[in-house]
Structure 1
Amino acid sequence: MPASSAEQPAARPERTELAVVGAGPAGLAAAVTAADGGLDVVLLDAADAPGGQYYRAPAPGLGATRPEALHHGWAEFAALVARLGRHRTAGRIRHLTGHHVWAVERSGTDWTLHAVTGPDGRDGATTLDARRLLIATGSVERQLPFPGWTLPGVVGAAGAQAMLKSGLVLPGRRIVVAGSGPLLQAVAVSLARAGARVPALVEASGYGAYGRAPLVLAGNPGRLAEGARHGAALARHRIRPLTHRAVTAVHGNDRVEGVTVSRLDRDWRPLPGTGRRIDCDVLAVGHGLVPQLDLAVGIGCATRCGADGSAALELDDGLRTTVPGVWAAGETGGIGGVRLALTEGELAARSVIADARGGPGTARAAALCRSRRRMRAFAELMGAVHRPGPGWTEWTAADTEVCRCEEVTTGAIRTAVAELGAGDSRTVKLLTRAGMGWCQGRTCGFAVRELAGCAADAGAPDRRPLACPVPLSVLARADRPEDA
Structure 2
Amino acid sequence: MNNVRCEVLIIGAGPAGMAAALAASESQKHIVMLDDNPRPGGQIWRDGPAAVLPTLAQFYRQAITALDNVTLLSGTKVVAQSGPQQLLYENDKGCGTIDYQRLILCCGARELLLPFPGWTLPGVTGAGGLQAQIKNGLSLQGERVVIAGSGPLLLAVADSVTQAGGKVTLLAEQASVTSLARFASGLWHWPEKVRQSLRLMNRHYRANSYVLEAQGQQRLTAVRVQQGGKVRTIDCSRLACGFGLVANIELAMLMGCRIENAAIAVDDMQQTSITNLYAAGECTGVGGSELALAEGAIAGYAASGNIASARALLEKRSKWQRFAAAVSQTFVLNPRLKTLGTADTFLCRCEDVSLGQISRHKGWTAAKLNSRCGMGACQGKICATAARYLLDWPLPQPRVPLTPVRLETLVNLTPQPPKDIN
**1:303 alignment partner in structure 2:** 259
1:339 aligns with 2:290: yes
Which residue identity is paired with 1:30?
A
Unaligned segments of structure 2, at least 5 residues: none
Structure 1 residues not aligned, in runs of 5+: 1-9, 265-270, 306-310
User: In the alignment, what sits opposite 1:291?
Assistant: 247
Question: Partners in 1 of 2:339 and 2:65 — Cα distance?
Answer: 51
User: How far off its partner does 1:143 sit?
Assistant: 0.2
Q: Deviations over 1:222-280 (max 9, x none)?
A: 2233222222xx24xxxx1121111110111111111000136xxxxxx6xx3210000
Q: Distance in 1 between matches of 2:205 and 2:186?
A: 24
Cα separation, 2, equivalents of 1:412 and 1:253: 24
Are the aligned partners of 2:98 and 2:418 in contact in 1 as well (CA < 8 Å)? no
Residue by residue over 1:119-142, the C-alpha shift from the partner in whole angstroms, topping out at 9 and shown as x without a partner, is xxxx41111111110111111111
Question: Alpha-carbon deviation of 1:288?
Answer: 1.2
> Given that residues 99 and 418 in structure 2 are in contact (C-alpha distance below 8 angstroms), is that contact kept between their aligned partners in structure 1?
no
In structure 1, distance between residues paired with 2:141 and 2:121: 14
Aligned to 1:267: none
Q: Provide the secondary structure at the position in 2 that maps to 1:348.
A: helix
Change (3 A) 1:127 1:453: closer
1:199 is paired with a residue whose SS is strand
Which position in structure 2 is the counterpart of 1:370? 315
What amino acid sits opposite 2:320 in the alignment? M
Q: Displacement of 1:482 after TM fit? A: 8.7
Q: Which moved more, 1:142-151 or 1:333-342?
A: 333-342
Alpha-carbon deviation of 1:166?
2.4
Partner in structure 1 of residue 29 of structure 2: 39
Larger mean Cα displacement after TM superposition, 95-104 or 219-228: 219-228
* CA deviation string 1:379-416 (max 9, x = no partner): 122123223222212211221111112211122223xx
Alignment partner, residue 220 of structure 2: 256
How far did 1:96 drift? 1.3
Aligned to 2:78: 101
1:152 aligned counterpart, secondary structure:
coil
8 Å CA contact 2:86–2:415 kept in 1: the answer is: no
Paired residues for 1:91-240 under 5 Å: 92-107=69-84, 111-118=85-92, 123-170=93-140, 173-206=143-176, 208-209=178-179, 212=182, 217-231=187-201, 234-235=202-203, 240=204
Match of 1:413 in 2: 358
Change in 2 beyond 3 A, CA 1:40/1:213: same
Q: Quick check: which has more Rg, 1 or 2?
A: 1
Which whole-Å CA distance do the structure 2 matches of 1:230 and 1:453 have between them? 34
Once the two structures are TM-superposed, the CA of residue 425 in structure 1 deviates from its matched residue by 3.2
Shift of 1:193: 2.3
| Of 174-183 and 31-40, the range deviating more from structure 2 | 31-40
Count of equivalent residues: 419
Q: Match of 1:58, SS?
A: coil
Q: Distance in 2 between matches of 1:142 and 1:199?
A: 23
Deviates more, 1:278-287 or 1:98-107: 98-107
1:400 matched to 2:340: no
| CA deviations over 1:141-183 (Å, ceiling 9, x no partner) | 1100000000000011101111111225339711111111110
Say whether 1:15 aligns with 2:5.
yes
Compared with structure 1, are the counterparts of its residues 473 and 483 closer, same or farther at alpha carbon in structure 2 (3 Å cutoff)? farther
Matched, 1:433 2:372: yes
Quick one: distance in 2 between partners of 1:171 and 1:318? Answer: 47
Alpha-carbon deviation of 1:448? 1.7
Tell me: CA distance 1:207–1:49, structure 2 relative to 1, closer, same or farther (3 Å).
Answer: farther
Distance 1:151 1:214, change over 3 A: closer
Give 3-state SS (helix, strand or coil) of 1:319's partner.
coil
State the partner residue of 1:469.
404
CA contact 2:282–2:288 (8 Å) conserved in 1: yes
Residues 216 and 126 of structure 1: CA distance in aligned 2, closer, same or farther (over 3 Å) = farther
Q: Distance in 1 between matches of 2:292 and 2:177?
A: 23
Cα root mean square deviation, aligned: 2.3
Q: Aligned AA for 2:244?
A: G
- Aligned partners of 1:172, 1:22: CA distance in 2, in Å? 36
C-alpha change, 1:56 and 1:169, in structure 2 (3 Å) is farther
- Cα distance, 1:463 vs structure 2: 2.1
Normalising by the residue count of structure 1, what TM-score does the alignment of the two structures yield? 0.81
Partner amino acid for 1:468? T
Q: Distance in 1 between matches of 2:19 and 2:273?
A: 22
Q: Distance in 2 between matches of 1:337 and 1:318?
A: 19
Output the CA distance in 1 between the equivalents of 2:258 and 2:208.
Answer: 34
Deviation at 1:106, TM superposition (A): 4.4
Structure 2 vs 1, CA of residues 213 and 106 (structure 1 numbering), >3 Å: closer, same or farther?
A: farther
Partner Cα distance (1:285, 1:381) in 2: 22
Match of 1:381 in 2: 326
In the alignment, the residues of structure 2 paired with residue 325 and residue 397 of structure 1 have an alpha-carbon distance, to the nearest angstrom, of: 46
TM-score (norm: length of structure 2): 0.92
Report if the CA contact (8 A) 1:216-1:377 is conserved.
Answer: no
Residue identity over aligned pairs, in percent, reads 36
Cα distance change on mapping 1:451 and 1:339 into 2, 3 Å: closer
Tell me if the contact between 1:413 and 1:451 (Cα under 8 Å) persists in the aligned partners.
no
The code of the aligned residue for 1:386 comes to F
Q: How far apart in 2 are the matches of 1:53 and 1:45?
A: 11
Counterparts of 1:401 and 1:436 in 2: how far apart (Å)? 14
User: Structure 1 residues 207, 16: CA separation in 2 closer, same or farther (over 3 Å shift)?
Assistant: farther
Conserved 8 A contact 1:148-1:250: yes
What is the deviation of 1:103?
A: 1.6
Kindly provide the amino acid, as one letter, of the partner of residue 249 in structure 2: L
The answer to whether the Cα contact below 8 Å between 2:220 and 2:236 also exists between their aligned partners in 1 is yes
Shift of 1:372: 1.2
2:14 to 24, 48, 60: 24
- The 4+ residue runs of structure 1 with deviation greater than 4 A are 210-218, 480-484
Pair 1:443-2:382 in alignment: yes
SS for the counterpart of 1:250 is: strand
